[in-house]
Structure 1
Amino acid sequence: MKIVMIGAGNVATNIAKTLANIGETPVQIWSRTLASAETLANAVGTCATSDWNSVVKDADVYIVAVKDDAMLNVIDLLCAHCKHGVFVHTAGTMSMSMFTGKAEHYGVLYPMQTFSKQKEVDFRTVPCFVEASDKHTLDIIMELARLLSDNVRELAESERKWLHIAAVFSCNFANVCNAMAAQILERHGLSFDVMLPLLDETVAKLHRLHPREAQTGPASRGDVGVVSKHLAMLEDNKELSEVYSVLSNYILKNRE
């Protein structure tokens, strides 16, 4: 496929590098800033631009991987300059209707994973969820997704949005709890490294057990005495106390 990557952030970087590794290097990287486009282009061996007038006009696929709040404006500008090909975005919560009236063939390729520029993921294991404007376009986006991943499925927007919410709970909220744990540890002269074996086992259990079955801790045991002691210790930090209280109450109410 002749692919143009629109964006040079975390998602775009991982997609572009994965494509390059399998011999499907994007023919061009566009980014709002030329420096960002050049950094990714140099990493995968292609060309860069920040000028809409110089974006390749005859690509088979344009992959829009930019921040959600910039996506509508980027799609407007992209489709004003490029009229042919398949246009896809990678966002979990954004509708493919953003392309309606601007492109003939369009859709979504949502890779459900946490990405960073500093660490490449094994994209073959990443669940990718696809939606398209028509059957022909679906076939093309499916082909693209299968170049990236062994775990590809079609999913309507209505369900993809719930998938994204679930991912926020499972990944983003879990990690902010780790950040709060790090805050507590560092305040008392301990490194967050001591948590890593605990976290590794927590995730490992989820490969075998439903999260409800894997839940442990004082609230899951109904040990309200320990919960009360912890809350007393956190009295000087209202935010941490509130989070601890809300989560503990949820566990207490929903424990088996």
Structure 2
Amino acid sequence: MIKVCLLGAGNVATHLYKAFKSAQDVHIVQWYNRDLKKISTYKNDVTIIDDISKLSEADIYIIAVSDDAISTLSTTLPFENRLVAHTSGSVNIHDLDKKNRRGVFYPLQTFSKEVPIDFNEIPICLEALDKNDLDILTHLAEAIGSTWYKISTEQRQTLHVAAVFVNNFTNQLYRIAHEISDAKNINFEILKPLISETAKKIQEVSPYMAQTGPAKRNDKKTIKKHLKLLEKENHKAIYELLTESIKKTHGVSSPPRTRKEKSK
């Protein structure tokens, strides 16, 4: 049985709480947050505290707070030589106070409190400075059914950048598509099967091989029509940027722009 103290009340902390609570081999000793109201819903199921000095002994302390708060919170912990791990994709393991044993327990997924998450589908990126501590982290990941990967801080930070591209940037493109379709009273639901198929396809082939569309085939007439249809300049700029990126990736050359075209 792994004894855990959870610190934080955001999206990641809330989903980790639910996963730990459901795991047979995990016991949540306490859930700490400086504002008890944010976790009061769970007060009948777990001991909740807002006084960090009252943290009890546990095998691991999971800090699931905003990146900017991790380092400071780790310095306020009222003990030494215990395993403390953060859940951030971008924070260095050494940003945790060295008075304790340091680790990282980073679930690579997008989290929203209201959307259920299956940790069987979530990879956990682990890092520790000590082999025994890595063993605790791996056992915790396995206890909630996750696949885990031993990854360095540099690798994790690179993964975090890549994740922004496949998640945050992609979602922004969904939002733009929603805005474009809404402007013409088109139901966004029509696009959802395409979104699903696009995501499904890269499970079978590489993103490079999965690429289709007017930019890849250098369909200048269609590209020109699309740009004319786009009413907002920022939408046009994004379309042009991504079109050029696809062309470059697939070796499709664009003719040099004339002085007259550049001045338009």
Contact 1:8 1:36 (C-alpha < 8 Å) held by counterparts: yes
In structure 1, which of residues 242, 247, 250 is the aligned counterpart of residue 245 of structure 2? 250
Give the share of equivalent positions with the same residue, in percent: 34
Runs of 4+ in 1 over 3 A off after TM superposition: none
Mapping for residues 67-78 of structure 1, pairs under 5 Å: 67-77=66-76
CA distance in 2, matches of 1:39, 1:25: 18
Q: TM-score, normalised by structure 2?
A: 0.89
Contact 1:38 1:47 (C-alpha < 8 Å) held by counterparts: no
Structure exhibiting the larger radius of gyration computed from Cα positions? 2
CA distance in 1, matches of 2:97, 2:34: 23
1:110-139 deviations in Å (ceiling 9; x for gaps): 111111111221102211111101112111
- Structure 1 counterpart SS, 2:31: strand
1:237 partnered with 2:232: yes
- From the superposition, tell whether residues 203 and 170 of structure 1 become closer, same or farther in structure 2 (CA, over 3 Å): same
Computed over aligned residues only, the root mean square deviation of the Cα atoms, in angstroms, reads 1.6
Match of 2:52 in 1: 52
Contact 1:38 1:49 (C-alpha < 8 Å) held by counterparts: no
- Structure 1 counterpart SS, 2:224: helix
Structure whose residues are more often helix by fraction: 1
Contact 1:6 1:64 (C-alpha < 8 Å) held by counterparts: yes
Shift of 1:183: 0.8
Contact 1:7 1:37 (C-alpha < 8 Å) held by counterparts: no
Mapping for residues 93-242 of structure 1, pairs under 5 Å: 93-103=90-100, 105-234=101-230, 236-242=231-237
Q: TM-score, normalised by structure 1?
A: 0.92
1:143-180 deviations in Å (ceiling 9; x for gaps): 11211234112111111111111111111111110011
CA distance in 2, matches of 1:19, 1:72: 24
